[in-house]
């Protein structure tokens, strides 16, 4: 079974209810390519099983910071609902459409199935940290729930985390319950100019190690700009922006401050890796120790890189088919292939190979939840 983003969509199904989905999977037989809005370039050579028809926000309690929605609910619908009460998805999920050239409507189920987080991840946590509860149908057609809709819950094993980032290989999400946060009054971004990659990493570490609550730290070598975001109440943002500028005075000689709207636009661009959109080549995302990032970037053989999460996430634009993993060699972290041609996905695999002990556990878990390999077969661990 090959995994590719260029396969033509095959005919598929889109169950209206969880019961219908369970019935379908209980029936045995076909393998399915599980998808939400099909915007993240994850595809399997199988008939599509879409969650798009199971949609709608079922509960929203702003005073409890919780929202429950069916998996196929468009992310935009959730963001609009939250905006009415001045709240938001704090983990800032990336929209992959521009980078991957996909169309369609991103769904909340897709966000969690792929554990998609943006720049704010480094401070507030990843998508998985905001997922409070799930309902899903496993590969045997069993309906399973785990977690709930409260922020603190240690009742039994945390299958909620296991489902986040499992890319539909353990079960098809039908409902998610999540923690949301207040939208801050305003934001601003301190932009440092002219730093080398290593200097930028150091400046970001200094900022992140300060009490001024930086919620975004990114560096773009192409423009030699380093971005530090601060959010909160107006007077607090201006106070912390000033303190941060003082703290980085030596490095911030030429610093500018972007106010609310300009700042928001900057981070939308960084979140969606817009600098790589429309440019030829493969896109990789590496998770690493921030201080290792410049050396990894150097070894990667990439044409362009972009540092997010203070250097903890390294975006690489490499020539088509170039094996960034092989070029970098052993490092503390992992490299995910995000955009490439079908042959490259087939050859290199989307995900970083795991150590044997961990790979064995992961394979055994997938086998327990999907014994007949019917859900996104081969996506997370390629048949060897």
Partner 1 sequence: MEMPVPDAGVLARKARVADRLRKVLPADAVIEDPRETKAYECDALTAYKCPPMLAVLPATTEEVSDVLRICSEEGVPVVPRGSGTSLAGGALPTADCVILGVSRMNEVLETDYDNRFVRVQTGRTNLSVTGAVEEEGFFYAPDPSSQLACAIAGNIAMNSGGAHCLKYGVTTNNLLGVRMVLMDGEIIDIGGPYMDAGGLDLLGLVCGSEGQLGIVTEATLRILPKPEGARPVLIGFDDNEVAGACVSDIIRAGVLPVAIEFMDRPCIEATEAFAHAGYPMCEALLIVEVEGSDAEIDHQLSLITEIARGHNPVELRESTSAEESAKIWLGRKSAFGAMGQINDYMCLDGTIPVSALPMVLRRIGEMSKSYGLKVGNVFHAGDGNMHPLILFDANKPGDLELCEEFGSEILKLCVEAGGCLTGEHGVGIEKRDLMHVQYDAADLEAQMAVKDVFDPAWLLNPAKVFPLDASATRREKALAAE
| Sites for partner 1 among residues 280-309 (CB under 8 A) | 287-291, 309
153 binds partner 1 (CB under 8 A): yes
Residue 264 makes contact with partner 1 by CB under 8 A: no
The reply on whether position 355 binds partner 1 by CB under 8 A is: yes
Q: Decide: 262 and 189 in contact? Cβ < 8 Å.
A: yes
Residue 330, interface with partner 1 (CB under 8 A)? no
Give residues with Cβ within 8 angstroms of 103, minimum separation 6.
39, 97
Closest CB to partner 1 among residues 78, 113: 113
Judged by CB under 8 A, the residue of 46, 94, 173, 208 near partner 1 is 208
Residue 121 near partner 1 by CB under 8 A: yes
Question: Does residue 154 touch partner 1 according to CB under 8 A?
Answer: yes
173 pairs with which residues across the strands? Answer: 136
What minimum distance in Å lies between the beta carbon of 280 and partner 1?
27
Residue 106: CB minimum distance to partner 1, A: 19
Of 27 and 356, CB closest to partner 1: 356
Contacts of 316 (CB under 8 A, 6+ apart): 283, 284, 285, 286, 297, 300, 302, 304, 305, 324
Task: Looking at residues 26 to 65 of the shown chain, list those that interact with partner 1 (rule: CB under 8 A).
Answer: 61-65
- DSSP element (H, E) containing 97: helix 97-100
Q: Which of 27, 103, 152, 384 is close enough to bind partner 1 by CB under 8 A? A: 152
Helix extents (H) in 191-323: 197-208, 234-247, 260-271, 293-300
Residues 220-259 that bind partner 1 (CB under 8 A): 232-233, 235-236, 239-240
Least Cα distance to 190 among 139, 251, 115, 109 occurs for: 251
**Minimum CB separation from partner 1 for residue 62, in Å?**
5
Output the CA torsion sign for 52, 54, 59, 64. negative
Selected range binding partner 1 among 36-44, 46-54, 183-191, 220-228, rule: CB under 8 A = 183-191
What residues pair up with 256 in beta bridges, in sequence order? Answer: 191
């Amino acid at each position: 079974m090959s995994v590719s983003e260029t396969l033509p969509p095959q005919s598929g199904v889109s169950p209206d209810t969880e019961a219908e989905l369970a019935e379908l999977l209980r029936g045995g037989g076909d393998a399915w390519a599980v998808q939400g809005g099909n915007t993240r370039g994850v595809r399997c050579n199988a008939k599509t099983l879409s969650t798009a028809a199971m949609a709608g926000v079922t509960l929203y309690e702003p005073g409890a910071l919780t929202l429950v929605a069916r998996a196929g609910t468009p992310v935009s619908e959730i963001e609009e609902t939250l905006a009415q009460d001045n709240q938001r998805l704090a983990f800032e999920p990336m929209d992959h459409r521009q980078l991957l050239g996909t169309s369609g409507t991103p769904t909340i189920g897709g966000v969690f199935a792929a554990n998609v987080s943006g720049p704010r991840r480094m401070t507030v946590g990843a998508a998985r940290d905001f997922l409070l509860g799930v309902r899903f149908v496993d590969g045997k057609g069993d309906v399973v729930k785990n977690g709930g809709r409260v922020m603190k819950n240690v009742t039994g094993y945390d299958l909620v985390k296991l489902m986040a980032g499992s890319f539909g290989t353990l079960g098809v999400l039908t409902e998610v319950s999540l923690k949301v946060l207040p939208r801050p009054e305003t934001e601003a971004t301190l932009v440092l100019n002219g730093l080398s990659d290593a200097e930028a990493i150091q400046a970001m570490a200094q900022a992140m190690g300060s009490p001024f609550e930086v919620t975004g730290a990114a560096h773009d070598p192409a423009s030699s700009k380093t971005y530090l975001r601060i959010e909160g109440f107006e007077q607090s943002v201006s106070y912390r922006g000033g303190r941060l500028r003082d703290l980085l005075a030596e490095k911030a000689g030429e610093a500018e401050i972007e106010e609310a709207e300009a700042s928001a636009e900057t981070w939308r661009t960084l979140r969606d890796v817009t600098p790589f959109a429309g440019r030829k080549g493969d896109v990789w995302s590496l998770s690493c120790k921030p201080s290792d990032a410049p050396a990894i970037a150097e070894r990667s053989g990439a044409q362009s890189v972009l540092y997010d999460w203070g250097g903890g996430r390294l975006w690489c634009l490499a020539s088509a088919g170039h094996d960034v993993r092989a070029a970098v060699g052993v490092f503390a972290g992992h490299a995910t292939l995000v955009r490439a041609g079908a042959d490259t996905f087939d050859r290199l695999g989307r995900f970083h190979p795991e150590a044997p002990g961990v790979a064995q556990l992961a394979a055994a878990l997938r086998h327990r939840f999907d014994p007949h390999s019917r859900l996104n077969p081969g996506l997370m661990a390629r048949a060897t």
